[in-house]
Structures are given as structure tokens and as C-alpha cells.
Amino acid sequence: MTHSILLVDDNPDACATAAKLLWTWEYQADIALDGFTALDLVEKHPYALAIIDYQMPGMNGVELFRRMQRIRPAIKGIFLTGHTTLDVVYPAIEAGILRVLPKPVDFEELLPLIEEYAGSPA
């Protein structure tokens, strides 16, 4: 059984590209361009997985994921970031993020993680 995935990135082109690939792989994916929209969507939908950019205006990915988990404790998270330094990776892992991947994302590396955390495509 496959579950919905939430993509959160303030770059609309990055979200659109990732969403198109997920749809091609037969996943259901929604897009949020900021943390507040993401929280609103998490309130309404039981996402299995959130793929989150670390650096966004208004709220960083760590704070966003912590808030998501308060709403949906079972949600899993993957971070995509251009800054894979310890000051980013350690707080992400501490917040419950399962993997931190560098940008630009290698979709061949990402797909097996999506299958593991969200289930196989339909």
C-alpha cells in the first residue's frame, strides 16, 4: 500500500520537478512552498512521509518537522539541503529526520528511501 508524500521547499521549480517524478513513479504527492502551508496540509492529510528543505523563510526544516510530528506522530521525514554540515545534520537527526540528503538530490538514491518509508508505488 502506498501513502501520500508531502514535498516542502520554498523553490517552486524544485517542488514541481520532484512532484512530477513522484507522480511518474505512481506516488501521490502534495506540495507546500512554506512551513505554515505544510502544517495546514499535515492537519488535513495523514502523510506517511515528508521530504523537506532545511532552509526556508519563516521556519527552518527542523522546527517544521517537530511541529509536524506533534500533529502526526507517525510521519517520517527526509531532509534535502545544500548545507550538509554537522550544525544542520545533527539537529535534523535529533528531531527524528531519518535521512539528510544533499542538494541537488540524486533521485536514484531517493527512490529506495521513499519506498522504504512510504511504501511501494501503486
Does the pLDDT value for residue 72 go beyond 90?
Answer: yes
Tell me the pLDDT band of 121, cut-offs 50, 70 and 90: low
How confident is the model at residue 115, as a pLDDT? 92
Contacts of 80 (CB under 8 A, 6+ apart): 9, 51, 52, 53, 54, 101, 102, 103, 105
Domains and CATH numbers, the chain: 5-118 (3.40.50.2300)
Structure confidence by residue, pLDDT tens digits, 77-112 = 999 888 777 777 888 889 999 999 888 888 889 889
How confident is the model at residue 106, as a pLDDT? 87
What's the predicted TM-score (pTM) here?
0.91
